[in-house]
Amino acid sequence: MLAATSVVGLDASCQDDLTAAEIEGRRQMRAIADILREAGYPRPVMEEVCSLIGIRESCHIASLYRVTETELLSGKRFPDEAGKGTYRCDVHGRNPPGTRFRYLDGTEVLITPDAPKQQSFWRDPSLPTPPFYTWPIRSQIPVGFDNLITAGRMLDADTGAFGALRVMVNTNQAGEAAGNLVARALANGCPIPELVP
């Protein structure tokens, strides 16, 4: 399995850009196969290809609360927890290109195309490591709506926090939390925002 394509600079919520991204992703797959063959490896056989391009992010809401990377990685607890997670904060940069991973234990790994992997600490490593992070359901409730809640990658988070919260196990929890809150709002006959601190 090889996951090596990267299509950046396009808006996945725009149909023309999404089509262009699908085409570019397929072009990159072919180019990777050609590069491997030219390097002396047997040309890989593509046995399976995803039916759609994977979208890391597109639209976000302006919510009742914006989650930050610092809150997540410090293990801050919220009275309206939507879920718990441990996936690292990963931020993919374009300028300079590379990926920065930050972990709950304070370690940081930076991977760039033209340099060896760099490992350091983003905080004092002697501090206690939180067992997990949480995020508030308020980050899923758009400002200005009485009966609307989101579940998934459109939640309100800064770049680092989004790099952790975007993964499936966390979005599954966000969906369950949203469903539970809607059920409570219906049972109590009140708007969704009235049920959160």
Residue 20 to residue 43: CA distance in whole angstroms? 26
Query: Are the beta carbons of 189 and 183 closer than 8 angstroms?
Result: no
What is the pTM assigned to this prediction? Answer: 0.81
| pLDDT digits (tens), the chain, 197 positions | 677 788 888 888 899 999 999 999 999 999 988 998 899 988 778 888 888 888 777 778 999 999 999 999 999 999 999 999 999 999 887 777 889 999 999 999 999 888 899 999 999 999 999 999 999 999 999 999 989 999 988 899 999 999 999 999 999 999 999 999 999 999 999 999 999 98
Q: What is the DSSP string of 149-183?
A: ---STTS-B-HHHHHHHTSHHHHHHHHHHHHHHHH
- What per-residue confidence (pLDDT) applies to 145? 92
Residue 51 to residue 30: CA distance in whole angstroms? 16
Neighbours of 73 (CB within 10 A): 23
Query: Are the beta carbons of 140 and 82 closer than 8 angstroms?
Result: yes
- What per-residue confidence (pLDDT) applies to 107? 96
Residue 14 tokens read as 């725009």
- What per-residue confidence (pLDDT) applies to 12? 83
Report the first-to-last Cα separation within the chain, whole angstroms: 45
- What per-residue confidence (pLDDT) applies to 28? 92
- What per-residue confidence (pLDDT) applies to 140? 97
Of the candidates 33, 69, 71, the one whose C-alpha atom is nearest the C-alpha of residue 49 is: 33
- What per-residue confidence (pLDDT) applies to 1? 65
Upstream peptide bond of 96 is cis (omega within 30 degrees of 0):
yes
